[in-house]
Amino acid sequence: MTKINNAIEKVIQHPKIFPFASLLMRVMISVIFILSGLGKIFQYSSNAGYMESMGVSSALLPLAIMVEFGGGLLVLIGFQTRLAAFLLFGFSLVAAVLFHSGSDMNSQIMFMKNISMAGGLLALVIFGAGSFSVDEKLK
C-alpha cells in the first residue's frame, strides 16, 4: 500500500499535474453552488416557500443566494478561495441540518451529500486554490 500511496502522491504533486488537479477540484466543487444559487434566483418564490415550510425565514434567501452563487464563483476563479470555501463549508453543514435531516431516504441522501461537499470544501480551505487562480496571481 505504501508504494501505491507514494506513487499517487508523486503523480499529484508533479509540477505539471498539480495545477490542473487544483483547478479541476475548484471547478467540480463550485458548479453545484453556482447552479443552486442560480436556481434560487430563477425560482425565488418556490424556494422562499420551501424555506418557510421548513421553519426558516425566507428573508434569509438573498443571503443563501449570495453565499451559494457568490461563494461558488469565488471558488471557481480562485479568489479569496479559503474564505469562500470556509463559508460554503459552514453553509453546507447548516443546510444539511435545517433542510435535510428528515428520516426518509431522499433526506438522508441529501444530508450525506452536504456532509461530503463540506469535506471537499474543508480540503480546499486547507490546501488553497492552487496555481491557476486569482489568489496565486495576487501573491
How do the domains of the chain map onto residue ranges?
A: 30-131
- The share of the chain scoring above pLDDT 70, in percent, equals 100
User: Is the overall model pTM greater than 0.75, yes or no?
Assistant: yes
Q: Is the pLDDT reported for residue 7 higher than 90?
A: no
Asked whether 128 and 80 are in contact (CB, 8 A), the reply is no
Q: What value does the mean pLDDT of the chain take? A: 95
The DSSP symbol for 70 reads: I
